[in-house]
Structure 1
Amino acid sequence: MNAIKFPGFFLLFVSFLLANDQLEDLYKQASFYENQKEYKKAMEIYKKIAIEEKNANRIYFDEEKQIAHKIATETLDKIDDEETEKTIQQILAKSFDLYAYEENYFLPFSYDSRQRDDRKQTEAKFQFSVKKPIISNFLKMNETFYFGYSQTSLWQLYEDSSPFRETSYRPELFVELPYGKKGKTVIKGFKFGFLHESNGQPVEKSRSWNRLYLTSYFQLGNLFIAPKVWYRIPEEKNDDDNPDIEKYLGYGDLTLVLPYKSHTFKLLFRNNLRFNKDNKGFVQLDWTFPLLGSKSLFAYVQASSGYGDSLIDYDKEINRFSFGISLSR
């Protein structure tokens, strides 16, 4: 089955790369007209970009829908009820709209500066993250409700048995609310959600917590600022795997994102705001840029230092340097 579908997947992949090239050309055209103060022409191109991006994101699912339609029309007996016919096609297609959420990357080289008894210093790190829109404008505020899922793994790739040392699972429900108008205010939107994070380990290594969080988005030129605060939902004392996690991760973080030409720089700060000997913090820098001129594959460099590098190591100070590739940014 995989051998049969591979050519189709390859063609779709090539189409996706070509679509990204076309989108970049459209962005250049729109920017040109905007700089020339021909805003009407620029807006027409931006509308076209929105349509193209929507189509590009759904290219894989569209192929599945076409296959489902072919099966339904050429193989299955016709059902008189139109609504039932559509339901059958949905069942056959198994289609669902998924979009990249946080970064999706694979870092085959990830080096911890300190030697530790339970691991090699060099391992692999990768992350998978998607979101699915659930409903839009339900509250008539142009908001969108999402389900998100992210998974980050630390893989002892260079050990003999190559075990997965840690995997963090982060399902969440959230709503994004745009705010203000172009050129009128520096604040651009809000995000409010519920996040569960756990690692699925046996009791002695189990870690988990639940949070409600609020993020605000600001724009200053090409600098984007996102302060985030959270509230940990209390747990029963006997069920709490990490009762002191806030001592290390605090109650929020600050993210700065700076796109510059084809590069992106992302800086994350976190501190527990205890201004004494118990002060704990964390900082992480992510740098991405196109790999070999590609429009959809990026080189990824990550450097981090402090507490909370992973859920299993939330109470350990770790200095890590990693590099690899990313499929989104």
Structure 2
Amino acid sequence: MKKFLSILACTFCFASTEQILLEAQKLENEGNFKEAMLLYKKAATINNNKEEKYLNEINKTSQEKGKETNLKRAFFERHIDNVDDNETEKNLEQLVTKDFGIYPYKKNYILPTTYTFNNIEDRHNLETSFQISIEKPLAENFLGLDETVSIGYTQKSFWQTTKHSSPFRETNYEPEIFIQMPVKDNDHFKLLKASFMHSSNGKKDELSRSLNRVYLEGYFQLANLFVVPRVWYRIPESSKDDDNPHFTRYYGYGDLNFLYAYKQHTFELLLRNNLRFDKTNKGAAEFNWTFPLPEFMASKNSYGLFQIFHGYGQSLIDYDRELTNVGIGVAFSR
């Protein structure tokens, strides 16, 4: 293989040394062997240098095979001319690579097929849903606690793709600002998070749903099992402005999330309950399983997703409606 690459490298560099070799041959025919040998040596040196460079590139490519490739960064490095000013250079790099420090926040996914087992007026049982969730850190360690202050945005949409004209029946919007503080020197308690979050569905009149909450969340690790309890407080609104006054009757005051990682699989169970242990008890459970995709569909950071939901509050419009829904699709972050 190495011999083949050497021959290939010499073939590539032949065009650049052809003129030198022709001149050397001419000198040799004229009997000027000393000058001819100098030119032959020069041509050989050029070939060897180019061959070595080519082989180094082959080895580098081989070593980096399988590593993540940032196509936009590669384009910037290979095709954008450098400028003398360092600040301008960094500006150009951001403009080309679009790297502004935005990260996935909650799960990003699309479920092309979901099915609701409840018959609801003016709604098809079969639809598509997807979620987009991003985070942008704003500040770090200004309190000296290794904390991070970030803004987050999550959008979950329900798309009636089987209905005429395929309308979006609802989209839930959740912007928030939060602070995360790592917990040091603790075997199991890893992180504490406090957040202010707004939730709404962007609709008007009787279909409008919106509320503001503050919540506190903890992250506990037991080997490859994570337990994430969360408690929230809904910020009160005046009765004339409150478009879902019985929210806590159905959502309660918190939830509990379990995440178990096994090889390339993750299993998540979200539990929510209003903790009223009588006939007014309401709650919900959501199970998510992410798994490796078949090889012909596989791509980096993409996984199959199977989701089951039962209970109240799959979306804001259904905060007081019990339903059962199942879906399958692809997750682009976990």
Within 2, Cα distance between the matches of 1:266 and 1:273? 21
Kindly indicate whether the alpha-carbon contact (under 8 Å) linking 2:106 and 2:133 is maintained by their aligned counterparts in 1: yes
**What one-letter code is carried by the residue in structure 2 that aligns with 1:112?**
T
- The residue that corresponds to 1:110 in the other structure is 114
Aligned residues: 268
Answering whether residue 326 of structure 2 is matched by residue 321 of structure 1, we say: yes
- Residue 163 of structure 2 aligns to a residue whose secondary structure is coil
- Residue 239 of structure 1 aligns to a residue whose secondary structure is coil
Within 2, Cα distance between the matches of 1:95 and 1:102? 19
Within 2, Cα distance between the matches of 1:20 and 1:177? 37
Kindly indicate whether the alpha-carbon contact (under 8 Å) linking 1:65 and 1:95 is maintained by their aligned counterparts in 2: no
- The residue that corresponds to 2:205 in the other structure is 203
Map 1:139-178; keep pairs closer than 5 Å.
139-178=143-182
**CA deviation string 1:233-260 (max 9, x = no partner):** 1112221111111110010000000001
Map 1:263-282; keep pairs closer than 5 Å.
263-282=265-284
Kindly indicate whether the alpha-carbon contact (under 8 Å) linking 1:61 and 1:95 is maintained by their aligned counterparts in 2: no
Answering whether residue 307 of structure 2 is matched by residue 302 of structure 1, we say: yes
**What one-letter code is carried by the residue in structure 2 that aligns with 1:258?**
Y
Shift of 1:189: 1.0
TM-score by length of 2: 0.74
Within 2, Cα distance between the matches of 1:91 and 1:223? 37
- The residue that corresponds to 2:218 in the other structure is 216
Kindly indicate whether the alpha-carbon contact (under 8 Å) linking 2:94 and 2:100 is maintained by their aligned counterparts in 1: no
Shift of 1:180: 2.5
For structure 1, list consecutive stretches of 5 or more residues without a partner in the other structure. 1-17, 23-55
- Residue 309 of structure 1 aligns to a residue whose secondary structure is coil
- The residue that corresponds to 1:189 in the other structure is 191
Relative to structure 1, the CA distance from residue 62 to residue 91 in structure 2 (aligned partners, 3 Å threshold; closer, same or farther) is: closer
**What one-letter code is carried by the residue in structure 1 that aligns with 2:269?**
L
Shift of 1:87: 8.4
Kindly indicate whether the alpha-carbon contact (under 8 Å) linking 2:82 and 2:89 is maintained by their aligned counterparts in 1: no
**CA deviation string 1:202-237 (max 9, x = no partner):** 222111111101101111121100000001111122
Relative to structure 1, the CA distance from residue 166 to residue 269 in structure 2 (aligned partners, 3 Å threshold; closer, same or farther) is: same
For structure 2, list consecutive stretches of 5 or more residues without a partner in the other structure. 1-62
TM-score by length of 1: 0.75
Kindly indicate whether the alpha-carbon contact (under 8 Å) linking 1:72 and 1:89 is maintained by their aligned counterparts in 2: no
Answering whether residue 102 of structure 2 is matched by residue 98 of structure 1, we say: yes
- The residue that corresponds to 1:15 in the other structure is none
**What one-letter code is carried by the residue in structure 2 that aligns with 1:127?**
Q
Select the structure of larger CA radius of gyration.
Answer: 2
**CA deviation string 1:279-309 (max 9, x = no partner):** 1000010000110143421110000100011
Within 1, Cα distance between the matches of 2:276 and 2:254? 13
**CA deviation string 1:76-95 (max 9, x = no partner):** xx8xx876x46864884564
Q: Please provide the CA RMSD for this pair.
A: 2.5
Relative to structure 1, the CA distance from residue 65 to residue 134 in structure 2 (aligned partners, 3 Å threshold; closer, same or farther) is: farther
- The residue that corresponds to 2:252 in the other structure is 250
Out of 294, 297, 300, the position equivalent to 1:292 is: 294
Within 2, Cα distance between the matches of 1:153 and 1:175? 26
**What one-letter code is carried by the residue in structure 2 that aligns with 1:226?**
V
Within 1, Cα distance between the matches of 2:167 and 2:65? 36
**What one-letter code is carried by the residue in structure 2 that aligns with 1:320?**
N
Out of 127, 134, 137, the position equivalent to 1:130 is: 134
Kindly indicate whether the alpha-carbon contact (under 8 Å) linking 2:131 and 2:156 is maintained by their aligned counterparts in 1: yes
- Residue 250 of structure 2 aligns to a residue whose secondary structure is helix
Within 1, Cα distance between the matches of 2:286 and 2:64? 32
